[in-house]
Amino acid sequence: MKELPLDRIATADRKGNRIYLYPVSVKGYYRKLRSQLGLILIVIFLAMPWLRIGGHQAILLDVPRRRFAILGLTFWAHDAPLLVFVFGGLLILLGLVTAIWGRVWCGWACPQTVFVDRVFRKIEEWIEGDSLTRKKLDLSPWSFQKVLKKSEKWFAFTLCALVISHSFLAYFVGTDTLALMIRRAPLENPASFLVMAGVTAALLFDFGWFREQFCTLLCPYGRFQSVLMDDESQVVAYDLKRGEPRRGLAQSSENAGDCVNCYRCVQVCPTGIDIRRGVQLECIACTACMGACDDVMARMDKPLGLIRYGTQATTEGTEADVKSGVRAVAGAGRRNAWPMRPRPLLSLGLLLACVAGLTLTVLKRVPVELTLIRAVDAPYQVVSGLNGEAEVINHFKMDLRNQTFFQQSLSFAVTSELEAKGVRLVVSNHLPSLPAGESERADLFVRFPKSLLSSGHSRIFIQIRSDPLVFPEKTHTLHQEVILVGPFL
């Protein structure tokens, strides 16, 4: 294998045309772990829309109806602060993880890597064979055999893309709506059908053909990873001190490093780079080169870990490392992994602030939120009561908002003690129920005997009870303080 070009990316020729890669499959400890994690993530992705927590879909991002459910928490569009905490927290978490473990997200959990590695490459291998066979097939002229293999492969790809796109859609429309849509003709739901067809086509294009180009050319995360990482972040790195001078460049066998220049690490790389050139933007930390190189080292009876997880400081070598003789042991680069550095500490602080903000906001959240203000007309009205005693009426404006996904039936009351003292509530356009996510305005009139004020009851609490009809056990009572006013005498 030839040295990769220095003046362009490995997947483009001089004219800018794509060089299609045929990465060799590899085994190894980390590859096995990644495969197992990949399977778990795929199962979670497919199963999550079908899980119910607190009566809601575990994750629902219903954008058209502006309602969101995330692991039992329900949000509406007006809950922007909550969403800021949730999505801001996730972004900061990603930044923190990157600062400590580099692009671990890309290599271990990104849907692009997981689906390409665990599903699409596997299908390709089953149908078309190993890397060399695939390359030969692509270079061979069209024949019945080639058409058959390509048709089988793209048919299998399409089935997988359809499963993924339907699951993807379930996160946005909900599983009930999705099941309904599947049973109906596409023309009955043209918008959703087009979205689903578009997502399927995009997945086929990306997972089936575009692949590493997405990571190296389009993914924004890959672009700003250098801002998030520092010299102490854990990355997949080649141990320069141990490997160099590599075979072919060493003056004599005594001063030769451990790298035998076999290019095995390049052949297995899904983005086609040579990790021996240091940390590169194209590296998605998939660990394939680690497994490949460990295999070579094992055969040569040398210590594993020439390519390993390590910090740039330990693998490229600082003066201190050279003096202390850090060398050639798998995991030698694990020092300073804990985030006692400014960047991770800052991310950790921001993350904790987000979690605290989210917890406080959720704890303060009630099923039906009430804003109550005194009406701007006369502060009070004196009327004659049934038994001839003067009564006072206070007028308030209420704004009620149902923050749940269920219709809530509402009732207004005062304590039995106040009721015995003659306090009564009248609610205009009486709200028997409030639909999910809706707001309603209403007038509240508090009628009470004039003598109540002189007996020291100018502050009372009214109770607003909300009952979600589908979950009677989730009844909630809100106690709202009301200040009563009236004539002094």
Interacting residues toward ligand SF4 by CB under 6 A: 236, 238, 243, 259-265, 268-271, 273, 275-276, 283-289, 292-293, 296, 306-307
Q: Which residues face 374 on adjacent strands?
A: 396
DSSP assigned state of 187:
G
Closer residue to ligand SF4 in complex, CB, 131/271: 271
68 CB-near residues (< 8 Å, 6+ apart): 60, 61, 62, 74, 75, 76, 79, 83
Q: Which is nearer to ligand SF4, 261 or 480 (CB)?
A: 261
Residue 181 or 293 with smaller CB distance to ligand SF4 = 293
Give me the DSSP letters along 44-79.
HHHHGGG-EETTEESEEEETTTTEEEETTEEEEGGG
Q: Which is nearer to ligand SF4, 233 or 287 (CB)?
A: 287
User: Under a CB-based contact definition with an 8 Å cutoff, are residues 264 and 246 in contact?
Assistant: no
Cβ at position 46, least distance to ligand SF4 in Å = 26
Decide if 104 contacts 97 (C-beta within 8 A).
yes
Nearer to ligand SF4, 265 or 400 (CB): 265
- 3-state per-residue secondary structure call for 135-150: HHHHHCCCCHHHHHHH
- Let me know the angle formed at the C-alpha of 248 by 244 and 254, rounded to the nearest 5 degrees: 60
Shortest distance, position 120 Cβ to ligand SF4, whole Å: 17
Least separation in angstroms between residue 198's CB and ligand SF4 is: 29
Residue 358 contacts residue 85 (beta carbons within 8 Å): yes
Cα-based distances in Å from 454 to 29, 368, 489:
81, 33, 9
**Complex with ligand SF4: residue 170 or 236, whichever CB lies closer:** 236
Nearest residue (CB) to ligand SF4, 93 versus 240: 240
Cβ nearer to ligand SF4, comparing 255 with 429:
255
**Bridge partners, residue 414, by sequence:** 462
Q: Please answer whether residues 468 and 406 qualify as being in contact, where contact means their C-beta atoms are separated by less than 8 angstroms.
A: yes
| Least Cβ distance, residue 319 to ligand SF4 (angstroms) | 24
Shortest Cβ 221–ligand SF4 spacing (Å): 14
Ramachandran assignment for 442, one of left (phi > 0), alpha (psi -120 to 50 degrees), beta (any other): beta
Task: Quickly tell me which residue has 């979670």 as its tokens.
Answer: 44
Q: Which amino acid makes up residue 11?
A: T
Cα 321 → chain centroid: 38
CB 58, min distance to ligand SF4, A: 32
Q: How far is the CB of 22 from ligand SF4 (least distance, A)?
A: 14
How many angstroms separate the Cα of 134 from the Cα of each of 2, 149, 151, 308, 395? 20, 10, 14, 29, 80
Least Å from the CB of residue 469 to ligand SF4 = 54
> How far apart are the C-alpha atoms of 482 and 192, rounded to whole Å?
48
- Closest to ligand SF4 by CB, 212 or 467: 212
CB of 356 to ligand SF4, least distance (A): 36
C-beta closer to ligand SF4: residue 70 or 288: 288
Supply angle C-alpha 346, 102, 350, rounded to 5: 20
Residue 236 CB, nearest distance to ligand SF4 (Å)? 4
